[in-house]
Amino acid sequence: MGITLSLRRMKVELKEFKTENYQAQADVFFTKDEVNEYFQNAYRSFLPLVQVPGFRKGKVPMDIAKQYLNQEKLLEEVIEKMVYKSIDILNQNKTEHDFIYPPSLNSEIWPVENEEYTIKMLVDFFPEIDFTSLDSLNIPIEVPKSKNDIEKELINSLLDANASFKEIEDQAQMGHYAFLEYSYNFESEHPKFYPTMIELGKNQILPDIDQEIMQMKPGDEKTFTHTPPDQDPISIKIRLTGIKEKLLPSLEQTLLDNLNINKSIDEYKAEVSEQAEKSYNDYVKDVKWGAFFEEWFKDHTIEQLPSSILDHYMDQTLNIFEQDLSESKLSLEEFYAKSGKTEEELMEQLKPKAVSRANVDLIIRSILRQNPELTPKENEVDEETQQYLGKYKDGALDKKKVREYCDSLIRRKNALNWLMSKVSFTEKK
């Protein structure tokens, strides 16, 4: 009967550790006895699966079973367990690094029984952000909206949702609404048109075309072309169906009653004021966050990101780009065909956005790593999860995924609030 060795009595050694561009080369040394222990454990895990003529399954002697084992799978099992142990060693000895797993192996040499072995790994790690300059940072900000502006917007949204429209027979003016159909795919023999409504004067389709739309008559068609800076031309065909004036109702008790809003005018306005206060505070916070990141990234952008990070954010940015295209009724394949861009050219165009998103998340990750007290408590995540799930029918969402989302949401909020508490802002007058 073989002797069972215990890895707890052995010392796996981090032999070499070199870093460059957020990637570590780590060599972890295993003695001959340690290598043999990993092989013995692998044999024991595969032994119940081995079938040999003349023996019952699971009762094959070790020496005979070894001859029937798939050696490639055996070695994969051994190396996998060695990698796990190596990761433990890295975490114990290099706590200053926030490693990204899984690592990649940097050697084609496999371990052999009765021989010592050094596993060579390449493992990326998250860049650690230094926040020592935050306390001396003072950022000028401009807050265009007031609480009163937001209050008016909230009231106007109610009135706007209940507005009526009056057909305009005279000359269209700014502020009137154009009812039209548009098509981006007008090169087709049978282009598909989509209905929409725009407010004239806001250039909601393409810049500087509203004046020309105002000269059109119902039934007219016209093609407009616009070339954004450093981008390919955009063409759209518009078919005007009508020009109308929006008529907003007055905020009166009869309106609230008709909408089954069981409040008096004063109660409704008080509720709106409270909502506006909260929205205004959130708005100011967003302004501060935007100003901070704009200022911070003047000197602190990390361009040479680990490939594992950059690839993730490139995929994310491409997905967002594809979603934006779908809103314009274009597929990614149609975009390539119309723009003449290759996939490589598009990815290069999207790279700055991906790098920006990655840098923001790296700041948040570093804040949480350096301030573990900001990690949300279980009851906080539970409460946020229940509130989120309460907006939907039971069973409509995966509770586990919602909880993960709420956990990340609270972490992000805590990190950004910490950030804002460290930076000074001066509002421009």
pLDDT at 284 over 70: yes
**How many residues comprise the chain?**
429
28 CB-contact burial (10 Å; exposed 0-12 / middle 13-18 / buried 19+)? buried
Assigned token pair, 195: 């209905």
**Cα–Cα dist 301/89, whole Å:** 31
Q: Which residues, including other chains, have CB under 8 Å from residue 12's CB and lie 6 or more apart?
A: 28, 29, 30, 34, 85, 86, 89
Degrees (nearest 5) of the Cα angle 95, 405, 351? 70
Provide the mean pLDDT of the chain.
89
End-to-end CA distance of the chain: 85
Closest to 126 in 3D by CA, of 94, 99, 91, 96: 99
Closest to 25 in 3D by CA, of 126, 110, 121: 121
Mean pLDDT of the region 103-128: 93
pLDDT at 367 over 80: yes
pLDDT at 151 over 80: yes
Ordered domains of the chain (ranges, CATH): 7-126 (3.30.70.1050), 164-247 (3.10.50.40), 265-427 (no CATH)
Q: Report the relative pairing of strands 117-126 and 98-99 from DSSP bridges.
A: antiparallel
**Cα–Cα dist 76/102, whole Å:** 15
pLDDT at 277 over 70: yes
Which contiguous run of DSSP H or E holds residue 222?
A: strand 221-226
DSSP one-letter code for 111: P
> In the prediction, which pLDDT does 87 show?
94
> In the prediction, which pLDDT does 6 show?
45
CB atoms within 10 A of CB 305: 23
pTM, rounded to two decimals: 0.73
Q: Which residues, including other chains, have CB under 8 Å from residue 46's CB and lie 6 or more apart?
A: 65, 69, 73, 74, 77
Q: Which residue matches tokens 């009724």?
A: 329
One-letter amino acid identity for 254? T
> In the prediction, which pLDDT does 4 show?
40
**Cα–Cα dist 401/380, whole Å:** 16
310-361 tens-digit pLDDT:
999 999 999 999 998 888 778 899 888 878 889 999 999 999 999 999 999 9
DSSP one-letter code for 5: P
Mean pLDDT of the region 271-296: 95
> In the prediction, which pLDDT does 328 show?
73
**Cα–Cα dist 227/222, whole Å:** 17
